[in-house]
Amino acid sequence: MSLRYALLGLLAYEPASGYALTKSFEHHVGRYAWQAGHTRIYPELNKLAADGLIEVAEEGARGRITYAITEPGRAALREWMMTPPAARKVRDEDVLRLFLMSALPPEDSRRLLKAIIEDCAGEIDELRDTIAMLDEDCAEAGERLPFGRLAAEYGLRTYETRRDWALWALARLESH
Amino acid sequence: MSLRYALLGLLAYEPASGYALTKSFEHHVGRYAWQAGHTRIYPELNKLAADGLIEVAEEGARGRITYAITEPGRAALREWMMTPPAARKVRDEDVLRLFLMSALPPEDSRRLLKAIIEDCAGEIDELRDTIAMLDEDCAEAGERLPFGRLAAEYGLRTYETRRDWALWALARLESH
DNA sequence: TGCTCACATGTCGCGGATGACATGTGGAAT
DNA sequence: ATTCCACATGTCATCCGCGACATGTGAGCA
């Protein structure tokens, strides 16, 4: 059911086509929060439209269909946002690998931790660039919703934390 | 496919029954890394056994079947651990809510951020207790695999980071 | 003018995930 | 002796997710 709300959330930010939404999932949403491919996105958009939570805002070139969120859609999104379930539910392959780390022989653990540290470094650099650009746009355009900014900051802090954890785990392994 | 390796990883730590594994998913694995219910776990265990990656170690009371990982199982797990895919794939409903935060009116955002901060505080307290107990056991038992310790530390740091981010986001909203 | 490639939306089959339903067992307390 | 509840494993229908396959379009470039 979460994909539904992921789409509503993106459309609450601004109207978009299925193609554009797919790109959003590829570039940010799917990397940090909720992955989805176009084969799920298009059917779900049709269902959302059938349910009246979104509507066709424009039909453009190459069959492009731009959707916009409706008032019932905003209400449904708000309802979902404000009532998180008691039980946490996560599926993150990367974190699973971290969790199972000690199943490996120490030498492999070390190699994997070093790879994680490098990977995080790349991610952090990328996010720092993104944030710099967002902040410039903000200063120039004067008015921009902080959607990307909050999310980017969250991503940045998450990867910094993961890198620091890996450094700590590595040190812990060495002092054995 | 990840459930397969989550199970192998847990069984690499120590032999366990499907029931015990289900509890692990409820209590730690499913909350931080990879969720799964018993309806998926039992069939997957049967498949793993059929593939020779695990084996029945003991059949106990009430139909309990205790499984242990085999050498091919360890090899398959190691193979998977050491070759992470290029593309990150995440599904985390909580993080999705953070991502979509700005879709809400500011007043709702504030309420949600405050709820997140409280929720994180509870999680952090719980994890601190867990870690204290793990460290005591270590000192007392002298010898214990660091599986739970690394994972708990990761969880703790993750929730501290999330709390700090929420505090930052709240301050950012106020200064608007 | 023609070519190419990103744009743009879709179906289909298979396997994974989930909630509802089903069934029986043994330890512990009353 | 009985009752209760956690223990323990399973099926089934339905939906979700993913990779493969399908189809057509317009902008830009040579």
Q: Is A98's pLDDT higher than 70?
A: yes
Taking residues B135-141, report their average pLDDT. 59
**What is the 3-state composition of chain A as percent helix, strand, coil, each rounded to the nearest 5?**
75, 10, 15
Closest CA to B116 of B168, B80, B64: B168
**What is the 3-state composition of chain B as percent helix, strand, coil, each rounded to the nearest 5?**
75, 10, 15
Per-residue pLDDT band at B40 (split at 50, 70, 90): very high
Q: Put the strands of the sheet holding A54-59 in their side by side order.
A: A16-17, A65-69, A54-59
What are the angstrom distances between the C-alpha of B54 and each of A94, B15, B34?
23, 10, 20
* CB pair distance less than 8 Å for A108 and B82: yes
* CB pair distance less than 8 Å for B95 and A13: no
B126 touches chain A (CB under 8 A): no
CA dihedral of residues A1, A75, A33, B13 (deg, nearest 10): -50
| Domain spans in chain A, listed from the N-terminal domain onward | 2-82, 93-174
Note the pLDDT tens digit of each residue in B89-127: 899 999 999 999 988 899 999 999 999 999 999 999 999
Average pLDDT value for chain B: 90
Share of chain B above pLDDT 70, in %: 94
How many other β-carbons are positioned within 10 Å of the β-carbon of residue A27? 10
Closest CA to A18 of A80, A62, A79, A77: A62
Chain A residues closer than 8 Å to B167 by CB:
none
Closest CA to A24 of A7, A44, A46: A7
B8, B9, B95: residue with CB nearest A33: B95
Confidence (pLDDT) at B138 = 56
Say how far apart CA A61 and CA A162 lie, in whole Å: 44
Q: Which of A78, A97, A100, A118 to mutate to test the interface with B (most CBs of B within 10 A)?
A: A100
- Region for B87 from its dihedrals, namely left if φ exceeds 0, alpha if ψ lies in -120 to 50, beta otherwise: beta
H-helix or E-strand spanning residue B66? strand B65-69
* CA B43 to C1' D11, whole Å: 11
Say how far apart CA B21 and CA B36 lie, in whole Å: 10
Note the pLDDT tens digit of each residue in B54-83: 999 999 989 999 999 999 999 999 999 999
CATH pick for B2-82 out of 1.10.10.10, 3.30.750.210, 1.10.357.10, 2.30.29.30: 1.10.10.10
Taking residues A69-95, report their average pLDDT. 94
Q: Is A63's pLDDT higher than 70?
A: yes
The β-bridge partners of B59 are B65
For the four alpha carbons of A23, A157, B173 and B123, in that order, the dihedral sign comes to positive
Average pLDDT value for chain A: 90
| Surface of A (3-32) touching B: CB under 8 A | 5-6, 8-10, 12-13, 28-32
Say how far apart CA B64 and CA B56 lie, in whole Å: 10
